[in-house]
Amino acid sequence: MNIRIEIDGKPALSGKTALISGGYGGIGLSVCRGFAENGANCVVADLPQSPSEELGVLMAEYPGSVRYVPTNICDGEARKALLEQCKKGFGSIDILFNNAAVFDMGPLLESDEAQYEKLFRVNVNGMFFLMRAVADEMVNAGNGGKIINMASQAGRRGEALVSHYCASKAAVISYTQSAALALAPHGINVNAISPGVVDTPMWDHVDSLFAQYEHRQPGEKKRLVGEEVPLGRMGVPGDICGAALFLASGMSDYVTAQTYNVDGGNVMS
């Protein structure tokens, strides 16, 4: 689905620059396409040295205005270099789609500090310090901004086998609320999106881990979680784009500190 929104006769994100972490594939790539189609310059940051084939196609469709910067968001120097690239390329950062994350799971009583550290290093530390660095730029530029953090239905309640990931996503929701209050005087809106189950490379990994821990056939967990969604199917990355566009654009100027469930009806809050 392509969404094209005009505000005052112009594409909704015309003249804006968006930084998208974790946009090599999955939800981040789909949202990058949505932002580019609505007039934004986009800088995608992810771990691999080169963009994925699909991202390469998008970059060719929007030459010069969609760029890729290999970045580990957990590395302070790399974050600094990323922001410099954004400013050098486009002058400012108006939108942060703070999306990069990792997933892992396992029995709570078998978990160790390495597993905890692996999840919290990216999903909390990387997420928070990228948000902080971008917020700093936005405050100094004085033009306001939009920050969208990627939470999860996993952040709404615990799961026996998924404790660290759930806790890391609960932290995303909490930091979103605190940052929204801290940054409101600067005209910066901070919100989060909480997907349910979305068919991405991450869910292929989730499925293989459930197969291991719940002794299931490959693909079985994915099928079951899709069937349990009230709207009757797993999400696809494009399902997140509408909410992301709303939160990135002037349509959400009076919305902050919220976490939007975009999950086919899984969570009611």
Ligand X SMILES: NC(=O)c1ccc[n+]([C@@H]2O[C@H](COP(=O)([O-])OP(=O)(O)OC[C@H]3O[C@@H](n4cnc5c(N)ncnc54)[C@H](O)[C@@H]3O)[C@@H](O)[C@H]2O)c1
Q: Which residues are catalytic?
A: 165
Nearer residue to ligand X within complex by CB, 86 or 101: 101
Nearer residue to ligand X within complex by CB, 152 or 259: 152
Element (H, E) at 243: helix 241-248
Residue 73 Cβ vs ligand X, minimum distance, rounded to whole Å? 4
Residue 200 Cβ vs ligand X, minimum distance, rounded to whole Å? 3
The rounded distance, in Å, linking the Cα atoms of 60 and 192 is 30
Q: How many CB atoms lie within 10 A of CB 190?
A: 28
Q: What angle do CA 160, 25, 131 make, to 5 degrees?
A: 70
In sequence order, what DSSP letters do the residues of 112-125 get, joined into one string? -HHHHHHHHIIIII
Q: Which region holds residue 208: left if phi is over 0, alpha if psi is between -120 and 50, else beta?
A: alpha
The rounded distance, in Å, linking the Cα atoms of 147 and 100 is 14
- Backbone φ and ψ for 2, nearest 5 degrees, come out as -100, 130
Q: How many CB atoms lie within 10 A of CB 246?
A: 19
Q: How many CB atoms lie within 10 A of CB 187?
A: 14
Residue ranges in contact with ligand X by CB under 6 A: 21-22, 24-28, 45-47, 71-74, 99-102, 122, 126, 150, 152, 195, 197-198, 200-203
Position of minimal CB gap to ligand X: 26
Which residues contact residue 185 at a Cβ distance below 8 angstroms, ignoring those fewer than 6 apart? none
DSSP 49: S
Q: How many CB atoms lie within 10 A of CB 260?
A: 19
Nearer residue to ligand X within complex by CB, 138 or 234: 234
Nearer residue to ligand X within complex by CB, 100 or 138: 100
DSSP 59: H
Nearer residue to ligand X within complex by CB, 41 or 194: 194
The rounded distance, in Å, linking the Cα atoms of 152 and 126 is 16
Nearer residue to ligand X within complex by CB, 39 or 234: 234
